[in-house]
Amino acid sequence: MKERSIADIRNKLKDTPLEYLPQETRKYSKDQRIGIQKLIEQYNGYYNKYLDELKRLDEMLVYERKHADRDYICGIDEAGRGPLAGPVVSAAVILPKDLRILYVNDSKKVNENKREQLYDEIMEKAISVSVGIGCVEDIDTINILKATYQSMRKAVDGLSIQPDVLLVDAVTIPMIEIEQEPIIKGDAKSLSIAAASIIAKVTRDRMMRNYHDLYPEYGFDKNKGYGTKDHIDAIRSYGLCPIHRKTFTVQL
């Protein structure tokens, strides 16, 4: 029987789901070709990283397990409290209890391309997802904290299923009757909150890229409204545009 080429085996391993890599690499363990042994070492390394990721995800389910008697556990997080321009966006996400989505983490720890991929996977697999927007007018009228709370309430109200408990990043949302647990740095400690942070961040980033088409001189596609040097220089050159937060830019 003709020996399989190294390229064929590489392609086979590349197409093998991570959880099945040990079974697949064992098939080639007696192949003494240096190229095959390097492939086995490489893909065994991928599998070990996969195990590390499963362990990390398991550690992010501590709060979900704490409320294991509840049917629907909802994670809530926001994006955009600090920028000089654009809305604040909150997301509420209810995940199936047995779901593990690899590489879901605090959105700030995930690069933009991966966030986009995770956004699609969360939207596909979640029981319910909802987004609430706090517009610039609200931020300037009632302040950023109250506008953030308001956007969080909108997100919860928009869910297709009433959650039994809310896991919230760092805060307790006022004027809401559902049980809440605020978790400091929750987007790095709770899978549900991390999923919400991804949804909120990607949603807001997409909005800011759209605003860039309307106001290209401010570079919103890159700075997302945050106070970078180039953004501040643009404000000083062109003044404020309709999505700038006047209460944040008054001293510029």
53-80: per-residue pLDDT in tens?
999 999 999 999 999 999 999 999 999 9
Residue 1 lies in a domain: no
Whether residues 89 and 36 share a domain: the answer is no
CB 73 within 8 A of CB 67: yes
Residue 170 lies in a domain: yes
Whether residues 46 and 112 share a domain: the answer is no
Whether residues 214 and 197 share a domain: the answer is yes
Whether residues 183 and 220 share a domain: the answer is yes
| Torsion angle of C-alpha atoms 156, 161, 167, 173, degrees rounded to 10 | 30
Residue 197 lies in a domain: yes
Residues 218-228 have a mean pLDDT of 98
Position 115, amino acid: R
pLDDT at res. 173: 98
pLDDT at res. 252: 83
Query: By mean pLDDT, which of 76-80, 97-101, 181-185 is the weakest?
Result: 97-101
Report field, pTM of the whole predicted structure over 0.75 = yes
Provide the domain limits for residue 13.
Answer: 6-59
| Torsion angle of C-alpha atoms 120, 158, 88, 187, degrees rounded to 10 | -60
Give the single-character DSSP code of 24.
H
Residues 91-107 have a mean pLDDT of 95
Whether residues 69 and 42 share a domain: the answer is no
> Which of 117, 116, 121 shows the shortest CA–CA distance to 203?
116
Whether residues 194 and 90 share a domain: the answer is yes
Q: Is the dihedral of CA 205, 74, 190, 76 positive or negative?
A: positive
CB 131 within 8 A of CB 158: yes
Whether residues 12 and 41 share a domain: the answer is yes
Residues contacting residue 156 through CB under 8 Å, at least 6 positions apart: 74, 76, 92, 130, 132, 163, 166, 173, 176, 178
Q: How far apart are CA 236 and CA 18, in angstroms?
A: 52
> What total of structural domains would you count in the chain?
2
Strand ordering across the sheet containing 73-79: 128-134, 88-94, 73-79, 165-169, 179-183
User: Is the confidence at residue 145, as pLDDT, over 60?
Assistant: yes
